[in-house]
Structure 1
Amino acid sequence: RATGAIPRISYLICMVELCERFSYYMIVGCLTNMIQRELPQDSASGAIVHDPSTSTETPGALGLGLPLATFTMQFLIFFANISPLISGYYSDTKLGKFKSIWLGSMIGIFGHFTLVISSIPLVIKIPYLSYTIVLLSMATIALAAGFIKSNILPLLLDQYEYKQSKQDYTTLPDGTLTMVDHKATLEKLSMSFYMFINWGCTLSLASSFMERYMGFWPVYLLTALLFLGLPVLLKYLEPRIIHSEKIDKKQDSWSKSNSNNSENKDVYIEFFHYLRSYLLGTPLPANLKMIVADSDIKKFIDCITLFLFFIPFYLNDASLISIQISLAATMSTSIHLPNDFYQALNPIAIIILMPILSQLVYPYLLKRNMQPSPRIKIVIGFTITSIGTFIGAYVQNEVYRNSSCDITNVSNCDKPSDVSLFTWICYLLMFALQACGECFAAATCYELAYELSPSFLRGGVLALFLTSVAMSSVLGEIMSFWAKDPYLV
């Protein structure tokens, strides 16, 4: 067995997600510092003025504290992952996936330029005015992310299905006739997509140095200008891709029975009637236009059940990011790097691991019919991520133990804690293990969300998966009230 050929246009679709993620993550670490910490000495923009290459100062602006910074970041994560419920509905029933992505890019341009206004020196002088503008920009940026994230992967995977679904065999360069494994091909494409996401995250580490040497507004201006490039890329892609709403899908019973009703705007409502009848045994209304098989409903329920397990996973992986970034600023090491630089270790590790898994490990296992099931890969990912979080607790405890400040004020201590080289390595290992867990768990769930969902509901199902991230953010919001010394362990 082997994976099928991936259409080249798919990689340009991935570039849309790379640009969106690059802009998103460029602002994530900067916002934590901007909201939490006060302006450095003699600074008007948040940059380090006096010897930034060796200074132990951290960029800052508003000085509103870690709890509010954590709350704001959780708000961004929550809304960015709950808004796909809106965009998923409109893409499945009204706009289509491509138009939804286009709308998301327009909203994002407004949000990023609004963020630039919040960070100019004149506005920073009025902290609560700046913070109010930040909240407005966060809401629009999160909404833009929702319209793009819930639609880009289904659109990407549809390109493969349309062109390759009838090709069951392929000939290798050595002349061997090999069966094409469609699930393995979708898995490979999903992992490529996830790697592009993390390329965007990795490239965003430039923001750590820009905020330190130049201030916050140049970072936000760069993200706004980058978002301006999305409409250009989408305009190029529009005539060259297969639009999902025009594909004659054959793989699920709904498509076979409802080809004449594919434009029905009430598919969500009618599917809900079938779901309620399946779960509660209630009779179906007589005027339904759709025909949905029990197998499709069971797959949908399996998806939702799986997504529930990702709530604690993302609580460990993403919802603690503000605390982890702040932790770096409390450690004193011989390597003077910006504290939010360390979060780039997560996507860097993913970029290294993904090709190893998709090009070496999984193909090797596939040829020998030893490919692990998706559930086994998810369990492996969960286990590795939990180990990384335990290591983070150990590092935080070491910071408390070695701090010269009172344990109730370590996060804002003027003198960082002197920690051992081993503790610093453990801090790096925390990000690396969380990245490894994502490679196994998150990338696999993206694939399952597409594969198990009915064709007319793919935007909505992926939105429900992203909602699990939002739910973890709700728990993170609750935790933010205790996200202060001495409770961070």
Structure 2
Amino acid sequence: MPVAAFVSVGYKQREIGFQRDGRHVLVENLNQTSSICWGGCPAIWTTFTPFYKMEKNNQGEIVEPVYTATNTELGSVNQLAEEVVETERVPSYDSDIDTKHEVSTTINALGPEPTEEEMLTLRRVSDSLPKAAWMVAVVELGERFTYYGITGPFQNYMQRKRGFGAHAGALDLGQSTASALSYFFQFWCYVTPILGAIIADTWWGKYKTLFVFSLIYVTGNLILFVTSLPSSLDAGAGLGGLVTAMIVIGLGTGGIKSNVSPLISEQYTNTKFYIRTLKSGERVVVDPNQTIQSIFMVFYMCINVGSLSAIATTNLERYVDFWAAYLLPFAFFFIAIAALVLGNKYYVKRPPMGSVIPQAFRVVFAAAKKKSFDAAKPSYRQENGESEVPWTDLFVDEVRRAFIACKVFVIYPIYWVVYGQMLNNFVSQAGQMQTHGIPNDIMQNIDPIAIIIFIPIMEKLVYPGLRRVGIKMRPITRITLGFFFASCAMAYAAIVQKIIYSAGPCYDAPGACPAALLPDGENYAPNNVHVAVQTPAYAFIALSEIFASITGLEYAYTKAPTSMKSFIMSIFLFTNAIGAAIGIALSPTAKDPKLIWTYTGLAGATFVAGWIVWFGYRHLNKVEDELNVIDAEYTAELNATLMHDKEKADLERAHKTAIVDEGVEKVF
């Protein structure tokens, strides 16, 4: 009797088996789902019987077959099984997607590929996000909870002297020195990602690098907590402990920052456009590039949910002490470590590619000599009788894309100088106004709250609405808008500072005149301005982050070669370090009554930078899809290789576990 092979693929399931003598023998059944015979009993199966890949929806209901083939066409179980792909889906942003007609995923066969006309006329939507991506997001949430939990009280901890209540501090360094130390920490945190990226891309891979540097990170948090205890401050260990903690935490966060955002994006492995039908009957194009944009929206949402920890830590600072403010984030970071450990078996882990970074620099050098990247390609060199090189034409194209991204990043440092104001000078500005019982450093939490509100509005209403009327918010457009909103934030901050200087009791010397001395004889009252007037500045910063910061992360990932994702991400993050260095240089101006000019100068510089981005790089909007195709081709090839290895291992396991009775031969 002929042996008939079957494969059934459905929602969160995979089955491999065979049928003989009218009896169905299951070789492997993952997730305890049942096999399916479509259109009749097993007895009708013959040599030319069609076999189907079947599908179940979320409720376990069988839906229409999505693939047919005969065993003569497929040849063997091994050939058919090679095509099987396991899929796991979670809810997507597009809640109206008809899950009853989700098809099983096969390599390059998520659905019908759109025609050129459909690409131009059909609406584009995001794909579903895999479960592993959400688990990486939890890692980022835990890390950011810790980071912002400790940095929220930093300015008061460094600037003010020891005491209790709304004006308490610890080290009494003054505003200028405290701002400089704050910028140093920001600088260090964005230099170290280069080290983390090189280690990940060359030797360890992203997952191992994340785990090891997380242990370094938590060690730094422990140092900060211990040295902020009253006994440590009494012993004079506060400043030394703070600087040591800054160095260790900065080293740890460097290994995390450069790898966590590429890791979350790599959990989504599709690189092809395909057609999907919604419940409404509308046919849409599922856009992998838009999906990556959505992933970074989720990623940034987690950053800002985590950053709300500063609300808790600044209140702990005021009503308990700084040691309590630093204990909470230290303990919370273990959630991030737990998410790393528990998600280990779910993550897509691309192996390190070896020393490709020096090779990339050799490509840039070869291209620079002849002022053309094409001249660095092996095909060009062969045609012109030049020496052979160890890279491919495709690698040169990838390096060219990365070089384009790095050119865009050159203008970002001025943006990060503006962003840094929120972490130091804005905190001090709030302390110059009437806070009416709330800590002055709690005001910075308006920024993440605004982002949490604005991101769903942008993702669900603004961006889809613009796409419906034919307006595509390409990356350079979004980055330009981000710079303009940052400029608005600085202009508004200058206005607020003018209002403060125009109010009593101390006018342009807030909290530093005899008229403001409080009855305790030690503390000074702020000027008579309500702190709520500062709110719009944070809202402008939030909007600027959605356009400039999120898009920068997205651009760094989508334009980086597959073998250099972490490294190019670290280059983008390094622009933050340059911005911090500029901030250190500007910190002597962070004094009354010069602050108006500090904010005004930053507003003008950021506005000019926005126009430089637009006029210098807007042509890249027109070739956005073409640039991403290069990475899609390389990534698809890599994903196919990784999937082949995974399926090969599954088949080998099935071979070991297959049990057939009554003399039925094994077919594996």
TM range (shorter): 0.7 to 0.9
Q: Note the alpha carbon deviations across 1:146-192, whole angstroms, 9 max, x for none.
A: 111111111111111x2x33562222123433211111111111111
* Corresponding residue number in structure 2 for 1:212: 318
Q: Output aligned runs, 1:398-413, within 5 Å.
A: 398-405=499-506, 407=508, 410=511
* Corresponding residue number in structure 1 for 2:608: none
Report the CA distance between 1:482 and its aligned residue: 2.5
* Corresponding residue number in structure 1 for 2:411: 309
* Corresponding residue number in structure 2 for 1:252: none
Report the CA distance between 1:29 and its aligned residue: 2.2
Alpha-carbon separation, structure 1, partners of 2:512 and 2:558? 45
Does the alignment pair 1:347 with 2:436?
no
Does the alignment pair 1:388 with 2:489?
yes
When Rg is computed on C-alpha atoms for both structures, the one with the higher figure is: 2
* Corresponding residue number in structure 2 for 1:290: 391
* Corresponding residue number in structure 2 for 1:121: 230
Q: TM-score, normalised by structure 1?
A: 0.88
* Corresponding residue number in structure 2 for 1:134: 242
Residues 332 and 165 (structure 1), Cα distance of their counterparts in 2 relative to 1, 3 Å cut: same
- SS of the residue aligned with 2:345? helix
Q: Output aligned runs, 1:3-402, within 5 Å.
A: 3-40=126-163, 47-48=164-165, 57-127=166-236, 129-160=237-268, 162=269, 164-166=270-272, 168-245=274-351, 263=353, 265-281=354-370, 286=387, 288-293=389-394, 294-319=396-421, 321-333=423-435, 335-402=436-503
Residues 114 and 82 (structure 1), Cα distance of their counterparts in 2 relative to 1, 3 Å cut: same
Report the CA distance between 1:483 and its aligned residue: 1.8
Work out whether residues 36 and 68 of structure 1, in 8 Å CA contact, stay in contact via their aligned partners in 2: yes
Residues 175 and 206 (structure 1), Cα distance of their counterparts in 2 relative to 1, 3 Å cut: same
Alpha-carbon separation, structure 2, partners of 1:350 and 1:409? 31
Report the CA distance between 1:229 and its aligned residue: 2.8
Alpha-carbon separation, structure 2, partners of 1:488 and 1:420? 16
Report the CA distance between 1:291 and its aligned residue: 1.9
Work out whether residues 510 and 527 of structure 2, in 8 Å CA contact, stay in contact via their aligned partners in 1: no
* Corresponding residue number in structure 2 for 1:257: none
The letter for the 2-side match of 1:124 is L
Alpha-carbon separation, structure 1, partners of 2:512 and 2:582? 22
- SS of the residue aligned with 1:385? helix
Report the CA distance between 1:416 and its aligned residue: 3.3
Alpha-carbon separation, structure 2, partners of 1:410 and 1:280? 60
- SS of the residue aligned with 1:155? helix
Alpha-carbon separation, structure 1, partners of 2:422 and 2:571? 21
Report the CA distance between 1:397 and its aligned residue: 2.2
Residues 346 and 14 (structure 1), Cα distance of their counterparts in 2 relative to 1, 3 Å cut: same
The letter for the 1-side match of 2:406 is I
Q: Note the alpha carbon deviations across 1:409-428, whole angstroms, 9 max, x for none.
A: 6479643344445xx44311
Q: Note the alpha carbon deviations across 1:315-353, whole angstroms, 9 max, x for none.
A: 1122452111011111125x3210010000000000000
- SS of the residue aligned with 1:60? coil
* Corresponding residue number in structure 2 for 1:54: none
Q: Output aligned runs, 1:436-451, within 5 Å.
A: 436-451=543-558
* Corresponding residue number in structure 1 for 2:20: none
* Corresponding residue number in structure 1 for 2:585: 478
Q: Note the alpha carbon deviations across 1:184-240, whole angstroms, 9 max, x for none.
A: 111111111111100001233111111101100011111111122332221111111
Work out whether residues 506 and 512 of structure 2, in 8 Å CA contact, stay in contact via their aligned partners in 1: no
- SS of the residue aligned with 1:89? helix
Residues 181 and 411 (structure 1), Cα distance of their counterparts in 2 relative to 1, 3 Å cut: farther
The letter for the 2-side match of 1:278 is A
The letter for the 2-side match of 1:230 is A
Alpha-carbon separation, structure 2, partners of 1:330 and 1:14? 37
Name which of 427, 452, 462 aligns with 2:559. 452
- SS of the residue aligned with 1:240? coil
The CA RMSD over aligned residues, in Å, is: 2.1
Does the alignment pair 1:462 with 2:569?
yes
Report the CA distance between 1:59 and its aligned residue: 2.1
Report the CA distance between 1:13 and its aligned residue: 0.8
Alpha-carbon separation, structure 1, partners of 2:318 and 2:240? 23
Alpha-carbon separation, structure 2, partners of 1:406 and 1:235? 55
Work out whether residues 327 and 411 of structure 1, in 8 Å CA contact, stay in contact via their aligned partners in 2: no
Report the CA distance between 1:408 and its aligned residue: 5.0
Q: TM-score, normalised by structure 2?
A: 0.65
Residues 411 and 107 (structure 1), Cα distance of their counterparts in 2 relative to 1, 3 Å cut: farther
Using the TM superposition, name which of 303-312 and 291-300 deviates more.
291-300
> Percent identity between the aligned chains?
28
Work out whether residues 315 and 473 of structure 1, in 8 Å CA contact, stay in contact via their aligned partners in 2: yes
Work out whether residues 84 and 149 of structure 1, in 8 Å CA contact, stay in contact via their aligned partners in 2: yes
Alpha-carbon separation, structure 2, partners of 1:314 and 1:453? 21
Work out whether residues 183 and 420 of structure 2, in 8 Å CA contact, stay in contact via their aligned partners in 1: no
- SS of the residue aligned with 2:589? coil
Work out whether residues 310 and 468 of structure 1, in 8 Å CA contact, stay in contact via their aligned partners in 2: yes
Alpha-carbon separation, structure 1, partners of 2:575 and 2:421? 12
Work out whether residues 556 and 572 of structure 2, in 8 Å CA contact, stay in contact via their aligned partners in 1: yes
Alpha-carbon separation, structure 2, partners of 1:183 and 1:141? 33
* Corresponding residue number in structure 1 for 2:115: none
Alpha-carbon separation, structure 1, partners of 2:337 and 2:415? 34
Residues 166 and 305 (structure 1), Cα distance of their counterparts in 2 relative to 1, 3 Å cut: closer
Using the TM superposition, name which of 377-386 and 107-116 deviates more.
377-386
Report the CA distance between 1:401 and its aligned residue: 2.4
Residues 416 and 387 (structure 1), Cα distance of their counterparts in 2 relative to 1, 3 Å cut: farther
The letter for the 2-side match of 1:3 is S
Alpha-carbon separation, structure 2, partners of 1:406 and 1:13? 49
- SS of the residue aligned with 2:505? coil
Alpha-carbon separation, structure 2, partners of 1:324 and 1:122? 31
Residues 155 and 410 (structure 1), Cα distance of their counterparts in 2 relative to 1, 3 Å cut: same
Kindly tell me the number of residue pairs found equivalent between the two proteins. 452
Work out whether residues 4 and 170 of structure 1, in 8 Å CA contact, stay in contact via their aligned partners in 2: no
Alpha-carbon separation, structure 2, partners of 1:154 and 1:394? 39
Alpha-carbon separation, structure 2, partners of 1:289 and 1:390? 52
Report the CA distance between 1:69 and its aligned residue: 1.1
Q: Which runs of 5+ in 1 are unaligned?
A: 41-46, 49-56, 246-261
Alpha-carbon separation, structure 1, partners of 2:554 and 2:201? 18
Please identify which structure carries the higher strand content.
Answer: 2
Give the structure, 1 or 2, with the largest relative contact order (CA under 8 Å, sep 6 or more). 1
Work out whether residues 159 and 177 of structure 2, in 8 Å CA contact, stay in contact via their aligned partners in 1: yes
Residues 357 and 406 (structure 1), Cα distance of their counterparts in 2 relative to 1, 3 Å cut: closer
Alpha-carbon separation, structure 2, partners of 1:147 and 1:476? 23
Residues 101 and 322 (structure 1), Cα distance of their counterparts in 2 relative to 1, 3 Å cut: same
- SS of the residue aligned with 2:125? coil
The letter for the 2-side match of 1:7 is P
Please identify which structure carries the higher helix content.
Answer: 1
The letter for the 1-side match of 2:408 is L
Q: Note the alpha carbon deviations across 1:421-471, whole angstroms, 9 max, x for none.
A: 5xx443111111111111111111111111111111110111011011110
- SS of the residue aligned with 1:205? helix
